[in-house]
Structure formats: structure tokens, C-alpha cells
């Protein structure tokens, strides 16, 4: 293995790049490049377990083997063959290839896969293109990313995507991805003395991610990663990283509520909260979001209300958003954070957001509407300027 710190790439949902970058900075990594949906950085190889265990906003941790110019297939082949694959992959190991191409002349993914596969095999066989490699050993998933005719070649160290924390084997319809839920919570600035309430909790993801964050619990603590089998990394670094993660968990006075009008959703959320080990932080119960009260406490609402396929008709969604605007105005000086894909949300809600941030929940484009200033209207009073 080379002595210098390796380069890693952390893909993320569009819109989460800045949060991921700040998270990497806090872990002592050095950012090299940020583009839409990914951050490239350096860190000691021994940090790899901590990255997988601790990153809340990344989808994977990829170890970069090399980069090369790839204006044509010959250049791609020679560039990939020149990379030090033998430092990572054994002669008998399996190495499937997959990837993406954006704004590049080489746009056929199957053809790129074949060329890269052949180039790696040629390197591992010592330069002989005709040698058969059995691929019966460990599995190393190779990922390529072609962008503007430059190819980045990486090995996936995560396996199952990082948003799959392990606490949510069963979900409600159209669940919110855990990495995005963590971002919603982070932007809402959770504080010890302020109640965080998701009154349309579905699977309980937002409240669980808030609890994990406030207890400083590593989101990957209770799952496994493909790189745990890589012999050049060593079992001891994983054991050390997990022990440090356990020691970093802290007690908190923070409290989150996860409520929903659906008894089925509440049952699923309770099981997820239990699996995440957050029963002491998250209180889960059945309630109508349009009847919640402040209970005399300071609080923040963070929610992802039903939309699109989660409601049977557009009229139902529009009626819900109007009712939310009327009722949430009664929550005194509470801050309100709402994620929805409905571009007409502000008009229906009856109030302009103080700030709007664009995200993607998988392939669904969403806006995160943030209301952190007191409402100018009285409870129950419509904002006629928007209801047109």
C-alpha cells in the first residue's frame, strides 16, 4: 500500500454536498473537490472504518484507485491498466464493474464496463490479456465515474448504501431516505432544550435521525460494511473504530416526538425506534397533526407530509397543506420545517417561507420550506396575498 494518504469519494444526494463537506472537515479529512452529488477528499487509510460508521449524509465511501483522461476507449483501457489494482485486489478475487457517465464522449455504460474489466484483468495478470482469472475470492465492487472525459476508478468500501442504517427493515409508503432525514434535522438546528416534533412521522425516520445526532451515536454502529473483509485494512482498525464510536455516545436531555394519525405507521415507527436504541429519546404515539399543541414548550416541527403517491388524490394533498397552514399558525413561536415535492406549497400553506432549500429524495425533487420567524397573521386568519 502507498505511504501517502489515499483519496476517497463520498457520493451523496443532490443538495447535501455542503453538509457532507462540513462533516468531513470535522472528521479531519481534507476536501479536494466538490461537484453535484459527490465530495472528493483525502484521509488516512485507517480512517476508512470511521468514515463508514460516522458519516450521516454520504451514500457510500469509495476508495479512489486512480484517474485518467478517457476521450476514447483506447485511452480508457491504457489509463485503467496503469492503475495499481494489485495493491487492493488479489489475482483470484472477483471485481464486478459498474458506473456512470456524464457529459463525456464515452456514454455507453456496458462498453465502458467491458473495457475497464479487461484493463483491470490485464493488470492483475501481469500484462497478459489472454489469462483467465477465476474470480472465486473476495468481491471488490469497482465503480467508475466518467465526467467531462475524465475517468475516476474506485472501489466501494461500504457495500449496502450508508443510508440503510439497519433500523428500518419495514417502511411506510414512499419512505424518506435516512441521509436526507438527517439533513433536514441538521438544518433545523436541534437543541437540548427544544422539543423536535415530526407529527407525520411515517416510519419515524426524522425523529430517529435527530436522536442519533443528539446522542452522537454513529449511524452505522449496528451494521456491517464490505471493507471489513479486505485483508489490507485489518480487523483491528474496525474494532478500534467501533469502540471509539461506542465511547463517543453521550447522554442527552433532548426529546423528540414521532406521531402519526395512522396506527399502522405508529406501530412501524415504534419498532424502528426500538431497533435504533432510541426509546429513551423519542416518544412515539398516535395523534392528528392538525390537532397538536405546543404544551407550553419551545419546539420545532420537522416533517415530510404525504404527497404524490402517498395520497390518493391531488385534492387531498392541497386540502392538507391548507389545513397545515391554518393550524401550524397556532403553534405560537415554534419554528416549522416542511419538505414536499409540491411546487405550489407556499400558496396552499398560505405563507411564504423564510428560506427554501432544494433537495432530492431519491429521484423526487423536493423543496425544504423553512419558517423560523413568527407568523405575521393571527391563528386561523388566511394569508389572502398567497391564496390567489
* 51 shares its domain with 187: no
Same domain for 139 and 201, yes or no, is no
Residue 36, Cβ density class (10 Å: 0-12 exposed, 13-18 middle, ≥19 buried): exposed
The reported pTM is 0.93
249 and 331 housed in the same domain: yes
Position 171 confidence tier, pLDDT thresholds 50, 70, 90: low
Question: Domain for residue 92, yes or no?
Answer: yes
Asked if residue 296 and residue 339 are part of one domain, the reply reads: yes
CATH at 189: 3.40.50.150
Confidence of residue 280 (pLDDT cuts 50, 70, 90): very high
If asked whether residues 148 and 198 sit together in one domain, one would say no
Give a yes or no: residue 262 inside a domain.
yes
Residue 229, pLDDT above cutoff 80? yes
Q: What is the mean pLDDT of the chain?
A: 93
300 in any annotated domain: yes
The Cα-based distances of 285 to 203, 264, 282, 290, 296 in angstroms read 12, 11, 10, 15, 19
Q: How far is CA 377 from CA 332, 350, 381, in A?
A: 11, 10, 6
80 and 193 part of one domain: no
184 and 145, same domain (yes or no)? no
Tell how strand 62-69 and strand 7-11 pair up.
antiparallel
What cell was used for 22? 462540513
Strand ranges in 187-307 using DSSP code E only, listed in sequence order: 195-198, 256-260, 282-286, 299-303
Q: How many domains does the chain have?
A: 2
- 201 and 288 together in one domain: yes
End-to-end CA distance of the chain: 65
Give long-range contacts, CB 8 A cutoff, 24+ apart: 172-177. Answer: 172/202, 172/203, 172/262, 172/264, 172/265, 172/268, 173/309, 173/310, 174/308, 174/309, 174/310, 175/202, 175/203, 175/205, 176/202, 176/203, 176/205, 176/206, 176/304, 176/339, 176/361, 177/13, 177/361, 177/362
The answer to whether residues 260 and 303 belong to one domain is yes
Q: Which residues of 257-281 are buried (b: 16+ CB within 10 A; e: fewer)?
A: bbbbeeeebbebbbbbbebbbbeeb
Statement: residue 307 has pLDDT above 70: no
Q: Is-contact 352 313, C-beta < 8 A?
A: no
- Domain with residue 64: its CATH number is 3.30.2130.30
Assess if residue 107 is contained within a domain. yes
Residues 111 and 228 in one domain: no
Give pLDDT, residue 208: 98
* 367-374 mean pLDDT: 93
Other CB atoms within 10 Å distance of the CB of residue 17 = 19
My answer on whether 203 and 129 are in the same domain is no
Question: What is the arithmetic mean of pLDDT over 260-274?
Answer: 96
Nearest of 119, 108, 107, 109 to residue 76 by alpha carbon: 119
What does the alpha-carbon distance between residue 267 and residue 98 come to, in Å, rounded to a whole number? 38
Residue 165 domain flag: no
Mean pLDDT of 124-138: 85
More confident site: 243 or 388 = 243
296 grid coordinates: 407550553
The residues, ordered by sequence, that sit 6+ positions from 266 with a Cβ below 8 Å of its Cβ are: 201, 259, 260, 284, 285, 286
Domain edge (last residue) among 156, 191, 218: 156
Confidence at residue 339, expressed as pLDDT on a 0 to 100 scale: 97
Please answer whether residues 41 and 10 qualify as being in contact, where contact means their C-beta atoms are separated by less than 8 angstroms.
yes
- The reply to whether 51 and 111 lie within a common domain is yes
Q: 337 vs 373, which has greater pLDDT?
A: 337
Torsion of CA 168, 142, 364, 346, to 10 degrees: 90
Of 100, 122, 156, which residue constitutes the final position of a domain? 156
Confidence of residue 272 (pLDDT cuts 50, 70, 90): very high
Q: Has residue 227 got a pLDDT over 50?
A: yes
Range of the domain at 216: 178-371
> What's the pLDDT score for residue 384?
43
Q: Which of 99, 122, 156 lies at the terminal end of a domain, its last residue?
A: 156
Q: What is 85-116 written as a DSSP string? A: GGGT--TT-B--EEEEEES-S---HHHHHHHH
Query: Is it the case that residue 259 has pLDDT exceeding 90?
Result: yes
User: Residues 241, 61: contact at Cβ < 8 Å?
Assistant: no
> What are 376-387's pLDDT values in tens digits?
655 555 544 354
Amino acid at each position: 500500500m502507498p505511504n501517502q494518504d489515499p483519496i476517497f469519494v463520498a457520493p451523496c444526494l443532490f443538495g447535501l454536498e455542503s453538509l457532507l463537506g462540513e462533516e468531513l472537515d470535522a472528521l479531519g479529512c481534507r476536501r479536494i473537490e466538490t461537484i453535484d452529488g459527490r465530495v472528493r477528499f483525502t484521509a488516512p487509510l485507517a480512517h476508512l472504518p470511521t468514515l463508514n460508521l460516522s458519516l450521516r449524509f454520504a451514500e457510500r465511501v469509495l476508495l479512489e484507485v486512480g484517474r485518467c483522461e478517457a476521450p476514447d476507449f483506447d485511452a480508457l483501457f491504457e489509463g485503467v491498466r496503469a492503475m495499481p489494482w494489485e495493491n487492493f485486489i488479489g489475482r483470484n478475487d472477483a471485481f464486478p464493474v459498474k458506473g456512470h457517465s456524464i457529459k463525456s464522449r464515452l456514454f455507453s455504460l456496458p462498453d465502458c464496463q467491458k473495457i475497464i474489466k479487461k484493463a483491470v484483468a490485464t493488470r492483475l495478470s501481469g500484462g497478459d490479456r489472454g489469462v483467465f482469472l477465476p474470480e472465486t475470492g473476495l468481491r471488490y465492487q469497482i465503480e467508475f465515474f466518467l465526467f467531462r472525459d475524465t475517468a475516476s476508478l474506485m472501489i466501494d468500501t461500504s457495500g449496502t448504501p450508508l443510508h440503510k442504517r439497519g433500523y428500518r427493515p419495514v417502511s411506510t409508503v414512499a419512505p424518506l431516505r435516512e441521509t436526507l432525514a438527517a439533513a433536514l434535522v441538521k438544518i433545523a438546528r436541534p437543541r437540548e432544550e427544544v422539543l423536535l416534533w415530526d407529527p407525520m412521522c411515517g416510519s419515524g425516520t426524522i425523529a430517529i435521525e435527530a436522536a442519533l445526532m443528539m446522542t452522537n451515536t454513529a449511524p452505522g454502529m449496528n451494521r456491517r460494511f464490505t471493507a471489513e473483509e479486505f485483508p489490507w485494512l485489518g480487523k483491528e482498525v474496525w474494532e478500534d473504530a467501533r469502540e471509539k464510536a461506542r465511547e463517543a455516545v453521550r447522554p442527552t436531555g433532548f426529546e423528540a416526538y414521532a406521531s402519526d394519525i395512522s396506527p399502522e405507521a405508529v406501530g412501524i415507527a415504534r419498532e424502528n425506534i426500538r431497533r435504533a436504541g432510541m426509546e429513551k429519546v423519542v416518544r412515539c404515539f398516535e395523534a392528528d397533526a392538525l390537532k397538536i399543541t405546543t404544551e407550553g414548550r419551545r419546539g420545532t416541527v420537522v416533517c415530510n407530509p404525504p404527497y404524490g403517491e402517498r395520497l390518493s388524490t391531488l385534492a387531498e394533498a392541497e386540502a392538507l397543506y391548507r389545513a397545515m397552514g391554518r393550524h401550524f399558525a397556532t403553534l405560537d413561536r415554534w419554528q416549522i420545517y416542511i419538505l414536499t415535492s409540491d411546487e405550489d406549497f407556499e400558496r396552499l400553506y398560505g405563507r411564504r417561507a423564510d428560506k427554501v432549500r432544494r433537495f432530492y429524495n431519491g429521484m423526487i425533487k423536493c423543496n425544504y420550506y423553512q419558517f423560523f420567524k413568527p407568523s405575521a397573521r393571527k391563528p386561523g386568519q388566511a394569508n389572502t396575498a398567497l391564496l390567489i
